[in-house]
Amino acid sequence: MSDSITVVSRRRFCAGACAALVSACGGSSPTSPSAPASMLPVLPGQFAGSRVQVTVAGSALDTVGGAALVECVAGVFLISRSSATAFTAVDAICSHESCTITGADGDAYVCPCHGSRYSRSGRVLAGPAKASLRQFSTTFADGIVTIAL
């Protein structure tokens, strides 16, 4: 009887181990997003003093119902257009475990980390988050939305 030893390269071993871990962790967890969210378009914000300004023309905010993720040095915000002259701005950091909310499913913002869902006004629609997102005052003039910090 002969004993045989199979030599496996480190790369092949690691690839197999990673594949096994990924498949073992597959499936949905109770806190993963129930429906895939569409990625929100990302717009730059201009920070000036205690406000952030966002140009609307040519962006997802150009039409009523549009929404976008705004990034600037002051933070990240979710902005949606609710009428011809009204916008809603909320903090884009999930109140559950501080993940950045980057997607939406219909009129709900969806956290990519654990599936918390928020209304466009930042109210929790489904957990695990329990606290609403911080809402900011907005004004609109000359094609610019201004978020007051």
Q: Is the pTM of this model over 0.85?
A: no
DSSP letter at 45 equals -
Least confident piece of the model among 21-30, 60-69, 70-79, 84-93 = 21-30
C-beta of residue 81 within 8 angstroms of C-beta of residue 87: yes
- Going from N- to C-terminal start, the domains of the chain cover 30-148
- Single-letter amino acid code for the residue at 23: S
Least confident piece of the model among 1-15, 62-76, 78-92, 135-149 = 1-15
Question: Model confidence at 134, in pLDDT bands (50, 70, 90)?
Answer: very high
Please compute, for residue 42, the number of CA atoms within 13 A of its CA located in the half-sphere on the CB side.
Answer: 9
Q: Which CATH number fits domain 30-148: 3.30.390.50, 3.40.50.300, 2.102.10.10, 2.40.30.10?
A: 2.102.10.10
Tell the residue number behind the tokens 């914000």, with chain if given: 45
Determine the average pLDDT of the residues in 38-63.
96
